[in-house]
Structure 1
Amino acid sequence: MKKTQNLLHPHTYRFIDQSNMGPTFSALQSFAIDDALAISVGEHKSPTTARLWVHHNTIVLGIPDARLPYIAEAIAYLKEEEYQVVVRNSGGLAVVLDEGVLNLSLIFPDAKEVNIHDGYEAMVEFINHLFADLTDQIEAYEITQSYCPGTYDLSIGGKKFAGISQRRVKRGSAVQIYLDVSGSGAERAALLKNFYKVGLNNEPTRFQYPTIDPSVMASLNELLGANLTVENVRNRILYQLNDWSDQIIANSLEGEEIDNFTKRFEQMIVRNKKALEQINE
């Protein structure tokens, strides 16, 4: 608990809001931005950072997804459904991003001294406080029949509304969460259920892909009977950062961070292109 308190209550928070960048803002850019910030925060050239981001009709695939036996057909299905597809260069499985999904990255320093689970626990604690006025029923455990299931899935009454991942770069760590704020969690899950159905086509695989049950996923609005928007949650986050620190600074990437972003972004474009080219061969 002490470690999560230290992580979540720095003297200064840096706040970067990219939740309203529009449909041309690529998920690959987001991953590169978080890498650049993790380097900067890890070197104590930037304070602990909270970054908000939204992407429009995007499916982010994990490396195992790219190995589905009929992945080319599965991607064609997603494109027919008017989703763009990117492959991230890390673990995890496919997730759905759209205008009703808010992503939050908390970027912490001293990754080598902080247990990886402390990063996850810090995000769980942050979200519990964020919605404490609406519910005390948020639980963190794996929802096995959700998409991208993981130990730190967040759910209410057995229905998942958020998933957490963590990426460590040098001495910084970016703990990332997607929050299904509005819309239908079941519809998002049904999209990926069909994706895996097409991608597997009844062929056995050594890797165990999730057997998705759309009924175990929902948005916060569906679970709480609320009328939250991405902007509402953005404001909640900003208020909480203000309560948990002495000051907030708001500035975008600068100086060396831009160089690191450019380098990471170019690397991700090349890797993503190679992954998709191999799929289409």
Structure 2
Amino acid sequence: MNMTLWNEKTKGEGSLLPPVMGLFEHLHEVEELGEGGYSVSAQGGGDLLLPFAFEEMLCRDVGAGLVLPSLHLWSHPGGVALGLRDSKLPGAARAMDKLESRGIRTAVRHSGGAAVPLDAGIVNVSLILPKSQGKLDFHDDFRLLATVITEAVAVSHPKAAAQIVAKEVVGSYCPGDFDLSIGGRKFCGIAQRRQSQSFFVHAFVVVSGSGLERGELIRSFYEDAAAGEHGLSYPQVRPETIAGLGELGGPATTAAFCSGIREALARRATELIPSRRLQQETGYKLDYSDQRVKDAAGVLRERYSQL
């Protein structure tokens, strides 16, 4: 599939986002380095599994009707999230230790996909929604998030948005059918996680900083994790296939991109209720510091880490 999302009208997409959604944000500041540069190797801080555990619990609560369908925007100061298959490579434990020694946190995530970097210049966008009765094609959810991200870019940079293509970028890290790219260079990948009553569809969006550096980070991880063995199945990363939106003529700061996401939903007539207001009006509260999120992180670590 090769499509320009900016001008595409997905069938029924207007009905896929509810008129009111919760908004949860956990964003880190990007370290400016001057000359338009940004740090992409910030020292890791905090448990890398907390954002995933948070979304696991939020998804469960959305399915139970305890909270509105929600949007989660988050970043991490410095980490690499592995897929389960990555963790089974012969040198994975040693490769993860090597990253940890550099201050780059590592963890095995439970959503689909392969290894991806996480840092303050990468915005993670998750839509947490209840399952629709009789809905079978999960690709609709991928298309929805891909279109929302394109619309977010279009808020400030319509020319860049018009060039966005949804198609696997061969040579990128965590490749998939719904990679988003401009000029053949990937800036976004999409994955999902489904529960019995709800699901979340998740995208990492490289906004500021060097795509090449991030690609090299993941390429080096796989080189170490393969431990010299041949014939193993893992992404053959070519760093030049990755870029940040700022390098591609799109928004160059995470603040600008996140503002575009909020505006894109507003243009879809979806009202976002910030988490603090949700707590005031409904009594619902969930944050990384909550014990059940911490417990969920422990469960994810035990269940998905094979190291």
- Fold match by TM threshold 0.5: yes
In structure 1, C-alpha distance between the alignment counterparts of 2:300 and 2:65, rounded to whole Å = 29
1:118 aligns with 2:118: no
Question: How far off its partner does 1:87 sit?
Answer: 1.2
Normalized per residue, the structure richer in helix is 1
Question: How far off its partner does 1:197 sit?
Answer: 0.7
Match of 1:185 in 2: 211
In structure 2, C-alpha distance between the alignment counterparts of 1:12 and 1:18, rounded to whole Å = 20
Tell me which of 172, 193, 197 is aligned to 2:223. Answer: 197
1:101 aligns with 2:122: yes
Match of 2:200 in 1: 174
> What do residues 82-116 of structure 1 show as CA deviations (whole Å, max 9, x unaligned)?
21111113432110000100111111222553321
SS in 2 for 1:52: strand
In structure 2, C-alpha distance between the alignment counterparts of 1:49 and 1:273, rounded to whole Å = 27
Match of 2:240 in 1: 215
Match of 1:154 in 2: 180
1:41 aligns with 2:62: yes
Indicate conservation of the 8 Å contact 1:185/1:214, yes or no.
Answer: yes
In structure 2, C-alpha distance between the alignment counterparts of 1:121 and 1:50, rounded to whole Å = 16
Residues 227 and 234 of structure 1, relative CA distance in 2, 3 Å threshold: closer
Residues 58 and 106 of structure 1, relative CA distance in 2, 3 Å threshold: same
Match of 2:7 in 1: none
In structure 2, C-alpha distance between the alignment counterparts of 1:138 and 1:213, rounded to whole Å = 20
Question: How far off its partner does 1:180 sit?
Answer: 0.4
1:68 aligns with 2:76: no
1:16 aligns with 2:24: yes
**Identical aligned pairs, as a percentage?**
33
Q: Which moved more, 1:160-169 or 1:128-137?
A: 128-137
Residues 39 and 245 of structure 1, relative CA distance in 2, 3 Å threshold: farther
In structure 1, C-alpha distance between the alignment counterparts of 2:302 and 2:231, rounded to whole Å = 24
Tell me which of 60, 66, 88 is aligned to 2:109. Answer: 88
Q: CA RMSD in A?
A: 2.6
Q: Residue type matched to 1:162 in 2?
A: C
1:232 aligns with 2:256: yes
> What do residues 202-233 of structure 1 show as CA deviations (whole Å, max 9, x unaligned)?
31355x10111001100001111x56211111
Indicate conservation of the 8 Å contact 2:83/2:113, yes or no.
Answer: yes
In structure 1, C-alpha distance between the alignment counterparts of 2:63 and 2:252, rounded to whole Å = 33
In structure 2, C-alpha distance between the alignment counterparts of 1:14 and 1:271, rounded to whole Å = 24
SS in 2 for 1:129: helix
Question: How far off its partner does 1:185 sit?
Answer: 0.7
1:164 aligns with 2:190: yes
Q: Residue type matched to 1:142 in 2?
A: E
SS in 1 for 2:176: coil
Question: How far off its partner does 1:245 sit?
Answer: 2.4
Question: How far off its partner does 1:139 sit?
Answer: 0.8
Indicate conservation of the 8 Å contact 1:111/1:168, yes or no.
Answer: no
Question: How far off its partner does 1:4 sit?
Answer: 2.2
> What do residues 112-140 of structure 1 show as CA deviations (whole Å, max 9, x unaligned)?
53321111010011012112224201111
Match of 1:4 in 2: 13
In structure 2, C-alpha distance between the alignment counterparts of 1:92 and 1:262, rounded to whole Å = 28
Q: Which moved more, 1:193-202 or 1:107-116?
A: 107-116
Match of 1:242 in 2: 266
Residues 17 and 187 of structure 1, relative CA distance in 2, 3 Å threshold: same
In structure 2, C-alpha distance between the alignment counterparts of 1:123 and 1:81, rounded to whole Å = 33
In structure 1, C-alpha distance between the alignment counterparts of 2:54 and 2:133, rounded to whole Å = 21
Question: How far off its partner does 1:166 sit?
Answer: 0.8
Question: How far off its partner does 1:270 sit?
Answer: 4.0
Question: How far off its partner does 1:175 sit?
Answer: 0.9
Residue segments in structure 2 that go unaligned for 5+ positions in a row: 1-9, 31-43
SS in 2 for 1:166: strand
